């Protein structure tokens, strides 16, 4: 539930994750050859099964699911590992998973749609919309909440909410994961954390920012952020496998389990209250739904050009490698073939990556149940190998 290790792919992390070593299974959609695309034709996907397998076989995950989309077509899909360590079922390539902070991209999209409709102004103080709700709200703008420059404390910094030690994981598994929070409670916990800096005077990731944005959406529309995401994004795009749970602790449909690693063996943390994430990280999806969402968003089908430009106007992320910058609900960083845009997420049991090109022509979605956290550089290298191949092509082509 922290936003560290490694910095580039953890920028969008909300909640910590866990996973275990397991066997490999696969399901692919496309040939393994890499072909240069024409301007209007999809590019065949590199075979990413070896990289997906490595996330499991080299000890970091129990399961990994991924899809690559190019020019609107899913050109590769795969799975590796075990869905359930108790039964040995293989991980399903079409399985659902908790997407954690990738939820923020959906919520930011709705907010920017409301900006385009003239119902919200990015540089208005949040006090204008939620009077008395946010400490120092007269000096914190909507934009600063969306790009994490508000200075608001992160409610996940409170160890009573989430403690990433072994003892904390045991407590979360036993009782913490069942606690139901209201947005007001999460805001109060975050407000009790000392501000990181004066509004606009720095950058610090805080899930509290997006809890406030969820409250803003409800105040502006009269509907919850879940209803607005459903009506404005999921239904129009036909994303039927993306859900926005309120209090249900289960993941509907086929899915891989997530685990904490303990000396005596894995602790299954698949079920938990989504209220710990709220508008900052409660959603559940699939790799196919996520790549379709990314293609629609960056392809200009959800936001007008002016609002998409606002979304991709960035601020620096201190000490982040790969020239990482944070926009409004999205991250930008550098791969060998250029800039990529998207978000990452972490919640106990699940890590997610969703990135692609600025023009929406190519993207990948990856879910992996990370278990072995003993070598973060190794984990980062395995992840980087996957995304370089997914978005830049073969190692020879991307070098």
For residues 75-94, give the mean pLDDT: 97
Residues 135-172 as b or e (16 or more Cβ within 10 Å = b): bbbebbbbbbbbbbbbbbbbbbbeeebbbbeeebbebb
| Mean pLDDT value across the chain | 88
- Is the model's pLDDT at 1 over the cut of 50? no
Q: Tell me: the pLDDT tens digits for 235-258?
A: 999 999 999 999 999 999 999 999
Q: Tell me: the pLDDT tens digits for 276-311?
A: 999 999 999 999 999 999 999 999 999 999 999 999
Residue 309, pLDDT score = 98
Residue 319, pLDDT score = 83
For residues 161-187, give the mean pLDDT: 97
Confidence of residue 43 (pLDDT cuts 50, 70, 90): low
For residues 147-168, give the mean pLDDT: 97
Of 101-110, 157-166, 365-374, the range with the lowest mean pLDDT is 365-374
Distance (Å) of CA 157 to CA 79, 193, 196: 33, 7, 12
Tokens for 332? 């930008």
- Is the model's pLDDT at 376 over the cut of 70? yes
> Are 61 and 78 a contacting pair, CB within 8 Å?
no
Tokens for 12? 């969008």
Residue 321, pLDDT score = 76
Residues 371 and 80: their CA atoms lie apart, in Å, by: 14
User: In terms of DSSP H, where are the helices of 12-62?
Assistant: 49-57
Handedness of CA 263, 95, 68, 13 (dihedral sign): negative
> Are 93 and 183 a contacting pair, CB within 8 Å?
no
For residues 373-389, give the mean pLDDT: 90
Give pTM, 2 decimals.
0.90
List, in order, residues 6 or more apart from 45 with CB less than 8 Å away. 29, 30, 31, 32, 34, 68, 70, 75, 76, 390
Confidence of residue 46 (pLDDT cuts 50, 70, 90): low
- Is the model's pLDDT at 320 over the cut of 90? no
Confidence of residue 78 (pLDDT cuts 50, 70, 90): very high
Residue 9, pLDDT score = 43
Q: Which domains does the chain have, with CATH numbers?
A: 7-398 (3.40.710.10)
In this prediction, what percent of the chain has a pLDDT beyond 90?
Answer: 82
Residue 259, pLDDT score = 97
Helix crossing, 207-221 with 103-116: angle to 10°? 40
Residue 38, pLDDT score = 34
Residue 325, pLDDT score = 97
Catalytic residue flag (residue 398) = no
Catalytic residue from among 101, 273, 285, 367: 101
DSSP string, 72-119: TEEEEEEEEEEEETTTTEEPPTT-BEE-GGGHHHHHHHHHHHHHHTTS
- The DSSP element (H or E) to which 39 belongs, if any, is none
Residue 60, pLDDT score = 87
- The DSSP element (H or E) to which 8 belongs, if any, is helix 7-10
Tokens for 13? 């992390």
The SS3 assignment for 369 reads: strand
Residues 60 and 205: their CA atoms lie apart, in Å, by: 25
- Is the model's pLDDT at 5 over the cut of 50? no
Residues 82 and 93: their CA atoms lie apart, in Å, by: 11
> Are 132 and 212 a contacting pair, CB within 8 Å?
no
List, in order, residues 6 or more apart from 86 with CB less than 8 Å away. 268
Of 31-35, 291-295, 321-325, the range with the lowest mean pLDDT is 31-35
């Amino acid at each position: 539930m922290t936003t560290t290790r490694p910095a580039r792919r953890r920028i969008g992390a909300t909640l910590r994750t866990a996973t275990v070593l397991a066997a490999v299974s696969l399901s692919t959609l496309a040939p393994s050859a890499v072909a240069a695309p024409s301007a209007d034709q999809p590019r065949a996907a590199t075979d990413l099964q070896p990289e997906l397998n490595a996330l499991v076989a080299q000890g970091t995950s129990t399961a990994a699911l991924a899809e690559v989309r190019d020019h609107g077509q899913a050109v590769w899909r795969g799975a590796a590992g075990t869905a359930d360590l108790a039964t040995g079922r293989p991980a399903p390539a079409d399985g659902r998973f908790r997407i954690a902070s990738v939820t923020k991209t959906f919520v930011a999209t709705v907010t920017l749609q409301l900006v385009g409709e003239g119902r919200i102004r990015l540089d208005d103080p949040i006090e204008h919309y939620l009077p008395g709700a946010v400490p120092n709200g007269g000096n914190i703008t909507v934009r600063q909440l969306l790009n994490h420059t508000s200075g608001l404390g992160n409610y996940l910094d409170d160890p009573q909410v989430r403690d990433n030690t072994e003892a904390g994981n045991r407590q979360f598994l036993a009782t913490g994961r069942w606690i139901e929070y209201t947005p007001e409670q999460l805001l109060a916990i975050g407000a009790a954390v000392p501000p990181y800096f004066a509004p606009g005077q720095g950058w610090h990731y805080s899930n509290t920012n997006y809890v406030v944005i969820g409250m803003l959406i409800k105040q502006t529309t009269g509907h919850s952020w879940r209803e607005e995401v459903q009506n404005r994004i999921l239904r129009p795009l036909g994303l039927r496998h993306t859900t926005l749970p309120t209090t249900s602790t289960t993941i509907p449909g086929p899915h891989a389990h997530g685990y904490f690693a303990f000396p005596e063996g894995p602790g299954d943390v698949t079920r938990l209250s989504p209220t710990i994430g709220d508008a900052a990280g409660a959603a559940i999806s699939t790799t196919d739904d996520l790549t379709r969402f990314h293609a629609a968003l960056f392809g200009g089908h959800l936001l007008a050009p002016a609002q998409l430009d606002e979304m991709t106007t960035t601020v620096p992320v201190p000490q982040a490698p790969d020239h990482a910058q944070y926009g409004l609900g999205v991250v930008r960083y550098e791969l060998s073939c250029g800039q990529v845009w998207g978000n990452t997420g972490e919640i106990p049991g699940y890590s997610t990556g969703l990135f692609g090109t600025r023009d929406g022509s190519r993207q990948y979605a990856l879910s992996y149940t990370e278990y072995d956290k003993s070598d973060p550089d190794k984990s980062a290298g395995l992840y980087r190998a996957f995304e370089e191949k997914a978005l830049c092509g073969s190692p020879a082509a991307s070098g």
